[in-house]
């Protein structure tokens, strides 16, 4: 079965066929963070999904070039810079570093390129110049440059490829200066914003005077620089469909560099919103969480990643603390089974894969159907546990299943440490707990279990003695 994905551009399921099919090269762009604060779990749903897509494309032996921008200048960032008195770089570098740390905690592979907006002003200005040259962009008295939707359409462009727009409600001459605007506002948007007193020291020189780029032009300039004029796949949350992605298409294709049968991006993938306990995430509701908030509550990156990958990407995900508890139990089930397979396989290894890998691939080929994937994984775990209990698994068979799990987990990215160097102080606590249990001091034994948990270890009692798991 070929990989099928729901393309927002065509509003239907399509076979995924790379533009460079001979070399299986895939250009993939994901809208990255705006580094004015720590990324929240709604952001991370998109980034973890993008990581899953990349991993699966690589699983299917595609040569992926993954680009994710860093927006380090926009309206929100400038306001924060003015409030704090820091330089732009000083302010944004803290949150950029935190973002990459969070990526590592969630076991997301680093993109091949992470271009910063502030380092690509030249490319943005060049694109704006092309739009001015075609008459699609125009300058106002204050020095700002605007994209004319009307002129773009007059020259044969289509505005409204990703969303259906009611142009009868659109009033000619309206303009939107903000980086983000309401879905019902169909109007010209800023490509270059003339410097104002509120911008402080955040500005660049340009042929049109001092100022800074609008938000939308950033992604067009950086994606085409690293992936070429046309590329395969653009990923983002559904909140970016309009205006951001619609504007990206218009300003990219408005440059006049595209042939009759060429498009800026072939496939668009958009993930649905994340809810928290059934409600929209909001600081005012007290349900706004960053990864650091969840780490303080003693959840880890594997558990959060599992929950973020528990629902189909086109369906809303209800993020709950009960869900994190379920994620913890699910990972423990997988760990227990894999640990037993290691015990049976010993030093035996295998290059052969079992049928579970085919079932896994069939599920993901259906528009990244992650709920079906987890059903496959836990059916497999249940059957293996039964065979293990009945002593029906040989060393060679266990090795095949371990190789199969490694193949599957190369996509899921649920890092599980099978063999871990246990620190001496942890071993001492385990020995103390064993002595307490032997002396029937169960209160002390339970207290040590809690202490081990706080240090990142889970202890399980087995017929062969205690087994430690790194959380």
Looking at residues 228-242, what average pLDDT do you find?
97
Q: 157 and 234: one domain? A: yes
CATH number at 392 reads: 1.20.120.640
Assigned domain for 352 exists: yes
CA-CA distance, 134 to 131, in Å (whole number)?
Answer: 5
The pLDDT score that the predictor gives to residue 420 is: 56
Q: What is the pLDDT of residues 447-460, one digit of tens each?
A: 998 888 777 787 87
124 and 264 share a domain?
yes
Helix axes 321-345, 301-308, angle to 10 degrees: 110
* pLDDT at position 35: 97
Instruction: Report angle CA 288, 293, 295 to the nearest 5 degrees.
Output: 145
- Is residue 384 domain-resident? yes
Neighbours of 140 (CB within 10 A): 12
Residue 256 has pLDDT above 70, yes or no: yes
If asked whether residues 216 and 124 sit together in one domain, one would say yes
In the beta sheet, which residues pair with residue 318? 275
> How many domains does the chain contain in total?
3
179 and 64 within one domain: yes
Do both 118 and 216 map to the same domain?
Answer: yes
Instruction: Give the predicted TM-score (pTM) of the model.
Output: 0.89
312 part of a folded domain: no
Per-residue pLDDT of 141-169, as tens digits, reads: 999 999 999 999 999 999 999 998 877 66
Residue with tokens 């371990």: 402
Identify whether residues 245 and 340 lie together within a single domain.
Answer: no
Q: Is 314 exposed, middle or buried (0-12, 13-18, 19+ CB in 10 A)?
A: middle
pLDDT of residue 151: 94
Percent above pLDDT 70 for the chain: 94
Per-residue pLDDT, averaged over 283-309, amounts to 93
pLDDT in the model for residue 284: 85
Tell me, what's the pLDDT at 425? Answer: 85
The more confidently predicted of residues 163 and 465 is: 163
Contact assessment for residue 74 and residue 179, using Cβ atoms and an 8 Å cutoff: yes
Residue 409 lies in a domain: yes
Q: What is the mean pLDDT of the chain?
A: 92
Q: Give the integer Cα–Cα distance in Å for 131 and 152.
A: 9
Looking at the domain assignment, is residue 11 inside a domain? no
The alpha helices in 134-190, defined as continuous H runs, are 149-154
CATH for 219: 3.40.50.620
Same domain? For 50 and 136 the reply is: yes
Mean pLDDT (whole number) for 245-257: 97
Q: How confident is the model at residue 281 (pLDDT cuts 50, 70, 90)?
A: very high
pLDDT at residue 180 in the model: 57
Sort 463 into a burial class: Cβ within 10 Å, 0-12 / 13-18 / 19+: exposed
At which of 257, 275, 293 does a domain end? 275
Q: Last residue of a domain, which of 208, 242, 275?
A: 275
Cβ 50 vs Cβ 30: under 8 Å: yes
92: three-class secondary structure by DSSP = helix
Half-sphere exposure of 325 (CA within 13 A, CB side): 3
Per-residue burial over 396-413, b = 16 or more CB atoms within 10 Å of its CB, e = otherwise: ebbbbbbbbbebbbebbb
Domain boundary among 275, 294, 311: 275
Cα–Cα distance, 21 to 62 (Å, whole number): 9
Asked if 454 and 394 sit in the same domain, the reply is no
In this structure, are 153 and 205 located in the same domain? yes
Q: What does the pLDDT read at residue 417?
A: 55
Position 175 in a domain: yes
Residue 102 scores a pLDDT above 90: yes
Same domain, 338 and 398: yes
Has residue 95 got a pLDDT over 50? yes
pLDDT tens readout for residues 166-222: 776 655 456 766 665 544 456 889 999 999 999 999 999 999 999 999 999 999 999
| Phi and psi based region of residue 347 (left: phi greater than 0; alpha: psi -120 to 50; beta: remaining) | alpha
Domain housing 98: 16-275
Assess if residue 350 is contained within a domain.
yes
Q: Looking at the structure, do residues 147 and 169 belong to the same domain, yes or no?
A: yes
pLDDT at 285 over 90: no
Predicted confidence (pLDDT) at residue 258 exceeds the cutoff of 90: yes
pLDDT in tens, 316-346: 999 999 999 999 999 989 988 998 999 899 9
Taking a C-beta distance cutoff of 8 angstroms, is the pair 415, 399 a contact?
no
**H or E element at residue 67:** strand 63-68
- Please say if the pLDDT value at position 421 is more than 70: no
pLDDT tens string 38-90: 999 999 999 999 999 999 999 999 999 999 999 999 999 999 999 999 999 99
Straight-line distance from the first to the last Cα atom of the chain, in angstroms, rounded to the nearest whole number? 36
DSSP string for 14-36: EE---TBTTTTEEEEEE---BTT
Does a structural domain hold residue 90? yes
pLDDT recorded at residue 454 = 76
Do 162 and 245 contact (CB within 8 A), yes or no?
Answer: yes
Average pLDDT rounded to a whole number, residues 421-433: 85
Residue 318 φ then ψ, to 5°: -95, 105
- Predicted confidence at residue 184, as pLDDT, reads 45
Q: What is the pLDDT of residue 183?
A: 44
CB 215 within 8 A of CB 179: yes
Q: Which of 31, 54, 45 is nearest to 114 (CA)?
A: 31
The C-alpha atoms of residue 246 and residue 244 are separated, in whole angstroms, by 6
| Residue 249 and residue 143 share a domain | yes
């Amino acid at each position: 079965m070929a990989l099928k994905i729901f393309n927002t551009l065509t509003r239907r399921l399509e076979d995924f066929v790379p533009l460079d099919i001979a070399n299986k090269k895939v250009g993939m762009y994901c809208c990255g963070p705006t580094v004015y604060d720590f990324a929240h779990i709604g952001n991370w749903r998109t980034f973890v999904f993008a990581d899953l897509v990349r991993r699966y494309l690589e699983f299917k032996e595609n040569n992926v070039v993954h680009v994710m921008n860093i927006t380090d200048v926009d309206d929100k960032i400038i306001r924060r810079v003015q409030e704090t008195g820091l330089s732009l770089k000083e302010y944004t570098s803290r949150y950029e570093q935190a973002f990459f740390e969070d990526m590592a905690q969630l076991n997301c592979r680093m993109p091949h390129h992470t271009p910063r907006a502030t380092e690509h002003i030249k490319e943005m200005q060049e694109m704006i110049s092309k739009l001015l040259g075609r008459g699609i962009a125009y300058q106002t008295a204050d020095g700002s440059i605007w994209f004319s939707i009307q002129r773009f359409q007059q020259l044969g462009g289509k505005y409204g490829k990703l969303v259906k727009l009611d142009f009868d409600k659109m009033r000619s001459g309206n303009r939107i200066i903000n980086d983000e605007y309401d879905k019902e506002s169909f109007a010209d948007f800023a490509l270059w914003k003339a410097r104002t007193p509120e911008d402080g020291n955040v500005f660049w020189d340009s042929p049109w005077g001092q100022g800074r780029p609008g938000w939308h032009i950033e992604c067009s300039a950086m994606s085409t620089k690293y992936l070429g004029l046309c590329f395969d796949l653009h990923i983002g949350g559904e909140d970016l469909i309009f205006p951001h992605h619609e504007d990206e298409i218009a300003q990219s294709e408005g440059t006049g560099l595209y042939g009759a049968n060429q498009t800026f991006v072939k496939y668009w993938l958009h993930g649905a919103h994340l809810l928290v306990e059934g409600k929209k995430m909001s600081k005012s509701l007290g349900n706004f969480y960053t990864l650091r908030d969840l780490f303080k509550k003693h959840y880890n990156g594997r558990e959060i990643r599992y929950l973020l990958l528990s629902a189909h990407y086109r369906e809303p995900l209800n993020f709950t603390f009960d869900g994190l508890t379920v994620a913890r139990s699910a990972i423990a089930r997988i760990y227990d089974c894999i640990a037993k397979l290691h015990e049976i396989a010993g030093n035996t290894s295998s290059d052969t894969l079992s049928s579970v890998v085919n079932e896994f691939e069939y599920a993901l080929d259906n528009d990244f159907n992650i709920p079906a994937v987890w059903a496959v994984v836990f059916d497999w775990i249940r059957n293996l546990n039964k065979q293990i209990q009945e002593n029906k698994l040989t060393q060679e068979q266990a090795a095949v299943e371990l190789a199969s799990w490694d193949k599957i987990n190369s996509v899921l990215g649920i890092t599980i440490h099978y063999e871990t160097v246990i620190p001496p102080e942890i071993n001492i606590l385990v020995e103390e707990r064993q002595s307490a249990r032997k002396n029937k001091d169960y209160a002390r034994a339970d207290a040590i279990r809690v202490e081990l948990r706080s240090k990142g270890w889970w202890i399980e009692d087995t017929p062969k003695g205690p087994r430690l798991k790194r959380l």
